[in-house]
Amino acid sequence: MTDPSELVEQVRAGDLRLYELEEHADAETAATARRRYVAEETGADLDTVGGFGFSAAQASASNIENLVGGAQIPMGVAGPVTIDGGATDGEYYLPLATTEGAFVASVNRGLGTIEAAGGATARVTDSGMTRAPVFRVDGVVEAQRVTEWVDVNHERIRAAAESTTSHGELLAVEPHVVGDSVFLRFVYDTKDAMGMNLATIATRAATDLVEAETPAELVALSGNLCSDKKPAGVNAVEGRGRTVTADVVLDRQLVEDRLDTTPEAMAEGNTRKNLVGSAKAASLGFNAHAANTVAAMFLATGQDAAQVVEGANAITTMSVREEGLYASISLASLELGTVGGGTNLDTQSEALDVLGLAGGGDPPGSNADALAEVVATGALAGELSLVAAFCSRHLASAHEELGR
């Protein structure tokens, strides 16, 4: 076995670069050597960073470059909550990874209220991962030729795209023309995978066909009309990943006893803050803090954390009904999966096991649908708790009580 100290000396002498260490040692030794070198160069104490529990070999192969260790985030659990979903059915405990004090307590209060009402209902109403390459054409005449060709050659495009994957399916190709630019927004069913890599590879094969058969010349495989890891109206309208809604009806007594407020106050507070306030701010998120739950569950279950941007693309509604309060949250573009990416890391796999959703589902796609319904229910719980907190003017006192 190579001595980490020898690798450190070779890096210092310029004989090796930090990214080359795995070529001369196993992943664990390479991470140790890299961590020692960085600690010595910066004067930082990285002992805790070095105390990670996942496989260095697995992480280096699939999830990270220049591994030095792990960033530990506290994980809490909220629930249980009963969910009547298209893919979920029964009680769930939600794993939440966060550094924000009072957050898990808030979601837990919301889930407890939902459970007291008999549980939430949730459904995935649309699903499709997108990739949108941009092509150069001479002008609008050539652009029309491209869009007309795409319209009549969907089966050929589908065959080219699906030749790269054993389980992904091309659902649609949507042309968009802007001057001498042609965007083709590809939409895929990626089953239980979040599917960004699948969509990218499949689309690359399809663009070869488009270039061969039309005047279009590929400029970029992603033309930002996808739109990935950026706030985007197209995702709010068309959806991306999973489009999912969760809702619940709380009777009046339950709102008063559990949330210390009234249905009328909740409905007004939600309208003035989450709807009117968000509209005035020109926000794409018409909600109180959906990103909190999305981020905490993404970190816990191994999702791409940058896609919280789209995951927070959500609308919360509340209205007074004869029996009490109707509340819902609709997340337009929740991009997640239960296979691939970070879901295979030890901690994240264990969190998915808590939900009973690790790995591929039967039928394919059902585990990712279920995870989306759980995230939506958690986000709904967070909305109920926070809206109630500011309606009852308990927001600041809750943080003070918990020492946050």
Q: Which residues are catalytic?
A: 100, 304, 399
Please give the Cα distance from 175 to 150 (Å, whole number). 8
Residues paired with 173 in a beta bridge: 186
Look-up of token digits 């030729």 = 145
C-alpha–C-alpha distance, residues 76 and 73, integer Å: 10
SS3 214: coil
Task: Report which of 292, 311, 297 is spatially closest to residue 354, judged by C-alpha positions.
Answer: 297
- R_g over Cα of the chain: 24
Closest by CA position to 366, among listed 276, 259, 265, 242: 242
Q: Determine phi and psi for 146, rounding to 5 degrees.
A: -65, -50
CA distances from 319 to 123, 155, 237, 324, 355 (A): 20, 46, 23, 9, 31
- Continuous H helices in 117-195: 140-152, 154-162
Residue keyed to tokens 């002498």: 13
What does the longest C-alpha to C-alpha distance in the chain come to?
A: 76
| Runs of H (alpha helix) within 302-394 | 308-311, 346-355, 366-391
Residue 17 CA to residue 255 CA, distance in Å, equals 60
Alpha-carbon span 192 to 91, nearest angstrom: 21
**Residue among 313, 343, 342 at smallest CA distance from 329:** 313
